[in-house]
């Protein structure tokens, strides 16, 4: 990873080569950048109805100013849009409107739009150019980076997909002003994660600026987002195909995913489930003598200060353990954890004895 200019973060792996443009009101210069990068002049913007109401003219205007003709396509909001049928409808739209291999697909939305659009771009005519314009905090710091695209199948989340890198990413902080509070918190949870796994300074900054973060201070947010992106880029560059160290991005997610599953994805947002997961893993790490109580305390305080939960209620512990044992990252039924050594340092592929896990969860139930 390198900072090619104050607001561009370069991603370079054997199969990926693109820049992430970060800042306020960076859409117009981004349009110009695309015009230089791509040979074609047809852009297809995939988004949601609400987002097109709010920002449609801003996005298409930026592209048109750079010489693109634009078409917009809205998919319904929510995880249920991330499926093969929605992708098939999108192919139909693309084919009907004459999209070819020189056209560019622009994902304008959160992770749902990003994953779906990336998947469509990867498969339509065996792959056409694709760019990400993330509009949620989670998409800015997480899902728009790393090249994973895909849709859900009735037998599993993200079951159908491929690694397909975008040609560029445009991260415009100004878009966050309209983001609902719960979605905002979701992204904050992933930024806390980035601090814990690889950036002590980012974590300290969040501790110091908690109030400004709650107020969505854009100067503070810009720094947080750039640092969180940098963490993900470093990890992805080190392990683009998820053979090893990339696992640390799942810190807090083993328990988090299980919590989401046992509550049928209704009780907790992803970020809330991950916050609880991180808190529990910190506690687990402390119980195993791997980290000091002080580090665990700092994590609890930061999460609570930001308005994120650190514990759950009314969950069947046995069910939770069962679901974890079936996690796709479990090996022979033994749950793999990313444990915390300190703020800014984690260890991965740690097997935790079931009785230790049980006593932790029972204490919490
Ligand atoms: N590809 C990856 O590496 C990766 C990583 C993490 C998560 N994901 C995926 O991301 C998805 C979740 O993404 P998400 O959390 O961004 O949720 P999301 O895409 O569902 O967006 C959340 C909601 O916020 C609204 N919204 C988005 N931006 C807005 C804005 N600026 N103003 C007002 N409203 C806005 C959207 O309309 C949507 O209803 C999941 O499907 C998950 O699997 C993928
Ligand atoms: Zn996550």
Q: Are residues 278 and 169 in the same domain?
A: no
Residues making up the binding site for NAD(+): 77-82, 111-115, 135-136, 148, 157
Atom 7 of ligand 1, residue of closest alpha carbon: 143
* CA–centroid distance, residue 85 to ligand 1 (Å): 19
Q: Are residues 34 and 103 in the same domain?
A: yes
Q: Is the pLDDT of residue 6 over 60?
A: no
Structure confidence by residue, pLDDT tens digits, 198-241? 999 999 999 999 999 999 999 999 999 999 999 999 999 999 88
186 within ligand 1 shell (Cβ under 6 A) = yes
- Residue 333 has a pLDDT of 67
Q: Is residue 344 part of a domain?
A: yes
146 within ligand 1 shell (Cβ under 6 A) = yes
Q: Are residues 43 and 110 in the same domain?
A: yes
Residue 135 CB coordination number (10 Å): 27
Q: Is residue 183 part of a domain?
A: no
Atom 33 of ligand 1, residue of closest alpha carbon: 179
DSSP secondary structure letter of residue 83 = B
- Residue 95 has a pLDDT of 98
* CA–centroid distance, residue 5 to ligand 2 (Å): 28
Q: Is residue 113 part of a domain?
A: yes
For 146-245, strand residue ranges (E) read: 148-153, 156-163, 168-172
For residue 314, what pLDDT band results from cuts at 50, 70 and 90? confident
When pLDDT is averaged across residues 158-170 and rounded to a whole number, the result is: 97
- Residue 3 has a pLDDT of 46
When pLDDT is averaged across residues 10-18 and rounded to a whole number, the result is: 93
Q: Is the pLDDT of residue 328 over 80?
A: no
9 within ligand 1 shell (Cβ under 6 A) = no
- Residue 288 has a pLDDT of 92
51 within ligand 1 shell (Cβ under 6 A) = yes
Which residues span the domain enclosing 235?
190-364
Structure confidence by residue, pLDDT tens digits, 30-56? 999 999 999 999 999 999 999 999 999
**Residues recognised as catalytic:** 126, 148, 190, 232, 242, 246, 250, 253, 257, 270
- Residue 353 has a pLDDT of 83
Q: Are residues 248 and 117 in the same domain?
A: no
Residue 251 CB coordination number (10 Å): 26
Gap between the terminal Cα atoms of the chain: 42
State residue 66 phi and psi, 5-degree precision. -90, 5
* CA–centroid distance, residue 259 to ligand 2 (Å): 13
For residue 242, what pLDDT band results from cuts at 50, 70 and 90? confident
Structure confidence by residue, pLDDT tens digits, 118-156? 999 999 999 999 999 999 999 999 999 999 999 999 998
Q: Are residues 157 and 18 in the same domain?
A: yes
Cα 361 from Cα 365, distance rounded (Å): 6
Whole-number CA gyration radius for the chain: 20
Q: Are residues 203 and 112 in the same domain?
A: no
Of the two residues 348 and 189, the one the predictor is more confident about is 189
Q: Is the pLDDT of residue 57 over 50?
A: yes
* Domain CATH code at residue 326: 1.20.1090.10
Pocket test for ligand 1, best of 11, 111, 172, 221 (most atoms within 8 A of CB): 111
Q: What percentage of the chain carries pLDDT values higher than 90? A: 83
Give the ligand at the shortest distance from the Cα of 47: 1
Q: Are residues 155 and 227 in the same domain?
A: no
Q: Are residues 173 and 200 in the same domain?
A: no
Question: Residue 22 is inside which H or E element, if any?
Answer: strand 17-23
Q: Is the pLDDT of residue 332 over 80?
A: no
Q: Is residue 185 part of a domain?
A: no
Give the ligand at the shortest distance from the Cα of 197: 2
- Residue 175 has a pLDDT of 97
Q: Is the pLDDT of residue 2 over 70?
A: no
280 touches 259 (CB < 8 A): no
Domain count, the chain: 2
When pLDDT is averaged across residues 338-347 and rounded to a whole number, the result is: 97
Q: Are residues 207 and 88 in the same domain?
A: no
């Amino acid at each position: 990873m390198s900072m090619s200019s104050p607001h561009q973060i370069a991603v370079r792996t054997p199969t990926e080569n693109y820049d992430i443009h970060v800042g306020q009101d960076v859409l117009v210069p981004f349009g110009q950048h695309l015009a230089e990068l791509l040979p074609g002049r047809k852009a297809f913007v995939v988004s949601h109805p609400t987002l097109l109401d709010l920002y449609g003219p801003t996005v298409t205007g930026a592209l048109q100013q750079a010489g693109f003709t634009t078409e917009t396509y809205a998919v319904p909001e929510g995880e249920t849009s991330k499926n093969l049928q929605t992708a098939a409808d999108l192919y139909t739209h693309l084919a009907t409107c004459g999209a070819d291999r020189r056209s560019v697909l622009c994902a304008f939305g959160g992770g749902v739009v990003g994953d779906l659009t990336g998947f469509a771009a990867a498969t339509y005519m065996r792959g056409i150019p694709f760019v990400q314009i993330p509009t949620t905090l989670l998409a800015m710091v997480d899902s728009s980076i790393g090249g994973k695209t895909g849709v859900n199948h009735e037998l599993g989340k993200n079951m159908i997909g491929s690694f397909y890198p975008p040609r560029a990413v445009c991260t415009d902080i100004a878009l966050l002003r309209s983001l609902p509070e719960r979605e905002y918190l979701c992204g904050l949870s992933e930024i806390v994660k980035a601090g814990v796994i690889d950036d002590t300074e980012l974590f300290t900054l969040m501790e110091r600026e908690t109030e400004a973060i709650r107020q969505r201070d854009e100067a503070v947010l810009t720094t947080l987002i750039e640092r969180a992106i940098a963490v993900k880029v470093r990890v992805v560059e080190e392990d683009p195909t998820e053979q090893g160290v990339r696992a640390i991005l799942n810190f807090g997610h083993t328990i988090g995913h299980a919590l989401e599953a046992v509550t049928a994805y209704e009780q907790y947002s992803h970020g809330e489930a991950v916050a609880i997961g991180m808190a529990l893993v910190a506690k687990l790490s402390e119980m195993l003598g791997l980290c000091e109580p002080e580090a665990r305390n700092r994590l609890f305080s930061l999460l609570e200060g930001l308005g994120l939960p650190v514990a759950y209620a009314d969950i069947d512990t046995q069910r939770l353990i069962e679901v974890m044992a079936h996690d796709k990252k479990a090996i022979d039924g033994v749950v793999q954890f990313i444990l915390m050594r300190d703020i800014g340092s984690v260890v991965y592929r740690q097997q935790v004895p079931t009785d230790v896990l049980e006593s932790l969860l029972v204490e919490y139930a």
